[in-house]
Amino acid sequence: MTKRGIRVKRTSSLWETEPMYVTDQDRFINGACEVETELEPLGLLDELQAIENDMGRKKLIDKGPRNIDLDILLYGDERVQNERLNVPHIGIPEREFVLRPLAELIPSKPLYASQPWKLVQDYLNDLTPGEPLSSITPLSSTLAPLTPLVPDRKTSVMGILNMTPDSFSDGGRNNLESLSNTVIELVRNGASIIDVGGQSTAPGRPEVSAEEEASRVVPAIELIRSIPETRHVAISVDTYRASVAEKAIASGADIINDVSAGALDADMLPTVGRLGKTICLMHMRGNPQTMTKLTSYPDGLVPTVATELLSRVAAAEAAGIRRWRIILDPGIGFAKTGAQNLELLRNLEELRAWPGLQGLPWLVGTSRKSFIGKVTGVEEASQRVWGTAATVAAAIQGGADVIRVHDVREMSLVTTMSDAIWRARD
């Protein structure tokens, strides 16, 4: 679009919807974009139709199957009535698949200048509830996307693969000689995502150089991609450095898992936007050395975490990351006290439903963390399996889409049982 004088500023989530009017066809994927252009409405229409033609669109019947359909919904506050174009688009008020993404972008904007009191969100609220829609978040070319609003969705298990000698829980256990068996075991035990880390973010751990971090994660990613039994998994790289993320993606990684949500490296968000990959934005304050002193939330824990995550989502979108490429993480154990970690687990559903965060998927990582040890009295991190199991069940009850764990076999069983309890369709 940029080459045609159309700059995308923001996007909605992608929404999977049942077809309307002609129902004997596949489901549709719908989204809305906020764009900036100097083109007049008809000129913009010409360019959009040229894009459709370039992509091989063939319209056999009206409202029937097509691989791409680009419509102008609004053009600022202008009204256009032409034999080729009507703006606002005449179908907006009756179509949830249009209103749902539009309300993500401009919920408080009047749809018609003649009715300034009636907003986009009002039209969505007026619709008769139908089959629930869900946003989708792609992970990789081999895995189904996350569908955070589907009631009976399955929780994804992310297995932790630490390539660090100083990880708080399993540092030094994995090396390239034993890695093949380790990753095969992770996948056989239920992991559909493997999270590769080369820099410990636990409090007090020394920082390594970007070169050292990359030298740890890149060979591991390349090895995972070379093993037939693990080629289908999604690979996440646990890093807050743009240079490491770029090398990891070039080596075969699919997802960037950034504990700082792009705050510790100014190049991270623009890099991810350019690469077009999915990123997990975690809530954290400060850095791993200072975060334990930044646990004051005078305006309330959930409201503050939500507000601070909203600012990171906005920063990601401004850097060119599409909304459908964003996963959120409440940051259990990062700039939180033990009591605050428990409070977040109890209130994850409220966080998911926070205005501006609805429809985004959530990753929750509680595995073996110190607050579990303090509650259960288990000092050795690797022995905190039962406490971790309880937190995983709580996270799934609260709506988590991905759980990040060390003990994949045990937590896969917990996930299966939790899904059977809380993810069954009524």
* Residues classed as catalytic: 369, 404
Secondary structure E strands in 49-111: 80-81, 86-87
From the CB of residue 126, how many other CB atoms can be counted at a distance below 10 Å?
A: 11
Helix/strand/coil for 264: coil
Kindly list the strands in the beta sheet with 193-197, ordered across the sheet, starting from the edge strand earlier in the chain. Answer: 326-329, 278-282, 255-258, 234-238, 193-197, 156-162, 402-405, 363-364
C-alpha distances in Å from residue 224, one per residue of 43, 163, 185, 241? 48, 13, 12, 21
The DSSP code sequence of 20-59 is -SS-SS--EEE--EEEEESS-HHHHHHHHHHHHHHTT---
How many helices (H) and strands (E) the chain has is answered by 13, 15
* Cβ–Cβ < 8 Å for 186, 195: no
Residue with tokens 């700059």: 7
* Cβ–Cβ < 8 Å for 145, 234: no
Helix/strand/coil for 281: strand
**Residue 274 tokens, joined:** 């350019």
* Cβ–Cβ < 8 Å for 319, 270: yes
> 356: closest CA among 3, 149, 105, 146?
105
Query: Measured in whole angstroms, how far is the alpha carbon of residue 84 from the centre of its chain?
Result: 37
From the CB of residue 424, how many other CB atoms can be counted at a distance below 10 Å?
A: 9
* Cβ–Cβ < 8 Å for 269, 263: no
Task: Report which residue type is found at 393.
Answer: A
